[in-house]
Amino acid sequence: ETDGNILYNDLKFLKMLYAAFGDKFQASRYVVDARSDTKEDIYEFLAEAVNVAIFVDCENVDPYAFGATILNLDEGVLSKIKKIILYDDVNTSTAWDYITDIMAIPVVKKDIERVLDNKSLVDITMTAGVCEEYYRNDMESIILASSDSDFWGLIKQLPRARFLVLNEFRKTSGAIIEQLDQYSIMHCYMSDFAQDTVQKFKSDVLYLGLMEKIKHFNETGEFGTLDVNELLQQLFYDANIIGAEGQIKKEKDDLSKKSLVNQI
């Protein structure tokens, strides 16, 4: 009785269930959706907007957290968003190559080439892209998906634009949150949104990554490794899939049983 009604709280129920068997539930992001006031802040931002574009710093954003955020919002309020523009780099997750498939909003993907191998140009290119959309295409409301504090300079240089920042708790400094709050810039954590909506997408990304490796093998005769564990490790690394150890192990086992057995 002291635990309250666990039937209406998935997280509480799972924590108690795991504890009963001497274990600890560590995958809360798969079952806990964002609080209603977090969604209401986004809905309020969109309701007051005329033209909205989302700009995504693919280097600094978890593709599954971003996907979960958009997919957990009511489709009816997303009509104000004209497009999602991805600014991608060669070193980011392969998931960005396929995220268009799960989005109802038009997606433009910009692959940003490097001049120097050790220097990304994503931030500066995205900054220029935001300015172009604001001044040339009248995107007066801008959603920035990034936890990078460098974009504070962009926000300050466009004082008449309306900004909403989508960031991730583990990547965002307290200093930038203080600045956003001080200047009344709306922000919310993408990591607050439950990722159950992107589980199939994760599986698809892993499967497509495997197909790419098989295609490469058929064309070149090179596969990299025939060790199943090493192959799974590489696929998950390329797809940038992270999480609780038990959940990752389950996902690796599922991929191995459903795909590797049939393909290798």
What pLDDT shows up at residue 66?
96
What string of DSSP letters covers 81-103? EEEEEEEE-TTS-GGGGTGGGG-
Q: What is the mean pLDDT of residues 45-57?
A: 95
Gap between the Cα atoms of 11 and 143, Å rounded: 30
DSSP string, 46-73: HHT-SSEEEEEETTSS-HHHHHHHHHTS
Residue 192 — pLDDT band, cuts 50, 70, 90?
confident
Contact 114, 90 (CB under 8 A): yes
**Is 22 or 52 the better-scoring residue by pLDDT?**
52
Task: Pick 16 or 232 by higher pLDDT.
Answer: 232
Interior CA angle at 170 toward 104 and 39, to 5°? 40
pLDDT in tens, 196-225: 889 899 889 988 888 888 888 888 888 777
Q: What is the pLDDT of residues 141-176, one digit of tens each?
A: 999 999 999 999 999 999 999 999 999 988 999 999
Predicted TM-score of the model (pTM):
0.79
Q: What is the pLDDT, as a whole number, of residue 210? A: 86
